[in-house]
Amino acid sequence: MGAEHRGFRNGLAFDLGAFDLDGTVLRRNLRITRKTVAALQGLRDSGMRLVVATGRRFEDASKFAGRLGFTDDDPVICYGGSMVRTINGETLLHRKLPRDLGIEVLEWAASRDLHARIFVDGRIITSPDTPAALEHLRSYPEPDVSVVDSPADWLRDGGEEPTKLVIVDFPDDIGGWLEAAQKAFSGRLFVTRSLPHYVEVGGLEGTKSKALEFLCGRWGIEQERVLAFGDADNDIDMLRFAGHGVAVGGMTGEVREAADEVVPGVDEDGVARYVEKLLKG
């Protein structure tokens, strides 16, 4: 959708701002700049509602949201859109994958010797490390991780239905199987790349755009008055949903094409620069 809007109730064209974390406001070294924090506070002061929309699990998402100035009753979209939970822990929305589909994905990954992870609320169940997992996950230490020989068997034997699944591989190798995975689960699951080494699998309703739609309904906000920022393939549906989607750098051409506008990347404070300009009118 375009950037033309009717009514400037808060002095701006938007009532809700949605922000991806990694690669959008959160740098690779996990730093959030003061300019970014100040920019988001400026939007709050103007009367906009704000929300973080991330693939991270709630424990991580709420921590980084806190650094961005979110508190208490503020909701966080996490697990790629499968959950909406407030900072103080109230779950507003939680969508899970059906067990049989989860098992099918995990067996698909195992047949290709790919590292797979089951995300349930507060826990991660993983297959044994592969070379790709060892290389790309060492810098992401996470608590509450259990390693099992077969995640598919764990789920089949009564494990909790997943909030989302993740498959990890070398960035250069993902292109060799990502399209096949999307085709295999087309119409049944949402398969998308969130980081160069990270492919997320969730339910068709467990997306950032569906979570934003839920919050818009809850708050009585029109879709055209949503402003969204993202950088990766798992942000494409959110950028398309928003009245104005802003690609921050843009990991791929598809991300940039989905957006209404492209700004400099996170290392150049693209979000802060855009917001500062917006607030100045």
Of the candidates 171, 203, 235, which is a domain's last residue?
203
Mean pLDDT lowest for which of 39-48, 68-77, 138-147, 260-269?
138-147
Same domain, 88 and 212: yes
* Residue 49 domain flag: yes
Buried b (16+ CB within 10 A) or exposed e, 102-119: bbbbbbbbbeeebbbbbb
Q: Angle at Cα 191 formed by Cα 223 and Cα 111, nearest 5°?
A: 170
Mean pLDDT to the nearest integer, 47-70? 97
Whether pTM exceeds 0.95: no
Q: How confident is the model at residue 133 (pLDDT cuts 50, 70, 90)?
A: confident
| Per-residue pLDDT, 10 | 62
* Residue 10 domain flag: no
Three-state secondary-structure class, residue 255:
helix
Q: Report the domain count for the chain.
A: 2
Same domain, 104 and 197: yes
Dist. CA 184–CA 182, nearest whole Å: 6
Parent domain of 53:
16-95+206-280
Of the candidates 166, 182, 203, which is a domain's last residue?
203
Of the candidates 203, 219, 245, which is a domain's last residue?
203
Same domain, 25 and 83: yes
Q: How many helices (H) and strands (E) does the chain have?
A: 11, 14
Same domain, 133 and 169: yes
